[in-house]
Amino acid sequence: MGQGWSNARRTLVGKDVFGNRYYEQVVEGKRRRWFKPPGMMARPMDYDVDRVPANWRSWLTFQRPDVRDMED
């Protein structure tokens, strides 16, 4: 068995105009993407998805493969 997601190195791939930070990590060939909103959130489900720009939502859901061509 591999190390698992918790021990894998995460990479900060970008930040949007709202201050959200976007991360990616690859473990055993599987990609995982997520974001962290600015400040402390009590529960992630309380965060307003409208504060995630459409281009970043596309990246999070693997509809956009790369962030190099993105504009905030």
pTM of the shown model: 0.75
CA dihedral sign, ordered 58, 63, 67, 71: negative
The string of pLDDT tens digits covering residues 54-68 is 999 999 999 988 877
Instruction: Tally the domains of the chain.
Output: 1
10-61 pLDDT tens trace: 899 999 999 999 999 998 899 999 998 887 665 666 677 788 999 999 999 9
Give domain status of residue 72, yes or no: no
Range of the structural domain that residue 42 is part of: 5-60
Residue 71 in any domain: the answer is no
Higher pLDDT, residue 43 or 4 = 43
Question: Contact 58/3 with Cβ under 8 angstroms?
Answer: no
The answer to whether residue 44 is domain-embedded is yes
Q: What single-letter DSSP state applies at residue 54?
A: H
Sort 39 into a burial class: Cβ within 10 Å, 0-12 / 13-18 / 19+.
exposed
Domain annotation covers residue 21 = yes
Tell whether the model's pLDDT for residue 1 goes beyond 50: no
Helices (H), 1-72: 54-60
27 against 71, higher pLDDT:
27
User: Residue 14 falls within a domain, yes or no?
Assistant: yes
